[in-house]
Amino acid sequence: MTAHTAHTRHALRLAAAALAAIITIAPLSACGSSSSSTSALQEVKNKGTLVFGTEGTYAPYSYHDSKTNKLTGYDVDVATAVAKDLGVKAEFSEANFDSLLASVDSKKTDSVANEITVTAERKAKYDFTEPYAYSYGVVVTRKNDNSIKSFDDIKGKKDAGQNGSNWAKVAQDKGATLVQVNDFSQAVETLTSGRADVIVNDGLAVLDYLKQKPNADIKIAVKSEKTPAAHFPLRKGSDDLTEAINKSIAKLRKDGTLKKISEKYFGEDISTK
């Protein structure tokens, strides 16, 4: 055997040993990386904030105070109380309604505080907390319109609503055509100008609007019997965060915090069915 051949074999043995070491170590490294994955709750705890998407134009749930311009509202206060109970700070990212759930998908926000109800389509895509508010639906018309006596009467009518909202879906399921708007004020403008025939929306929001603008040329024509509930939606797989928020909601309901927030905005408790 020549010196050159021996040197070559020695080099090959070293290369094989190195390859075996890599193969042995690689699976251990992979296991180590997967075990270090952070849960949804721990991510929130680590960053110290729970970020909610919200409209900021949907009184009395999420809006800006006319005097201070501060973001406020029932949903905002409840979200703030929940975050505080979890030991973190609530932050809010304002956007049009139709992009709020998309912000959860993109991880720009952790949840939405904007009267989000559960639908079959949403349930397939998101985890939902227990409800923190209950309300009812109404059909709004111009004051001189007496043609709407029930939700079934909106068939063939034009509904001023927000794309992707549960109220727009209710209207469309009843046969109405959607005239897309960005917020409730624009919906009222669209209705009173004749570009829409009805507004299907949350009854408490409409009552608040009428309280602020009693001379508006609108009225509640029909009130629903069903009571939709508002929940916080979370990304699928956020089991521990969902459970933690549920515990906070239960605690805040039991100690009277939700009732206090309700009475601040509505004069009654909307946190129970």
Phi and psi at 118, nearest 5°, equal: -90, 130
> 137-187: per-residue pLDDT in tens?
999 999 999 999 999 999 999 999 999 899 999 999 999 999 999 999 999
Q: Which helix (H) or strand (E) holds 111?
A: strand 111-112
**What pLDDT was estimated at residue 25?**
39
**What pLDDT was estimated at residue 13?**
56
Smallest Cα–Cα separation from 145: which of 207, 219, 196, 199?
219
**What pLDDT was estimated at residue 35?**
36
**CA–CA distance, 273 with 261 (Å, rounded to integer):** 16
**What pLDDT was estimated at residue 40?**
96
Quick one: tokens of 16? 């094989």
Q: What is the dihedral of CA 166, 168, 174, 175, to 10 degrees?
A: -150
**CA–CA distance, 217 with 219 (Å, rounded to integer):** 7
Q: Which residues pair with 53 in a beta bridge?
A: 93, 112
Helices (H), the chain: 3-35, 40-47, 74-86, 100-105, 120-123, 166-173, 184-192, 203-212, 239-254, 257-266
**What pLDDT was estimated at residue 273?**
85
Which one-letter amino acid corresponds to residue 138?
A: V
Residues of the chain predicted below pLDDT 70: 1-36
The edge-to-edge listing of strands for the beta sheet with 57-58 is 57-58, 62-64, 71-72
Helices (H), 138-202: 166-173, 184-192
Task: State the helix-helix crossing angle for 74-86 and 239-254, rounded to 10 degrees.
Answer: 110
- In the chain, the domains with their CATH numbers are 42-134+229-266 (3.40.190.10), 137-223 (3.40.190.10)
**What pLDDT was estimated at residue 226?**
78
**Secondary structure of 28-65 as H, E, C letters:** HHHHHHHHCCCCHHHHHHHHCEEEEEECCEECCCEEEC
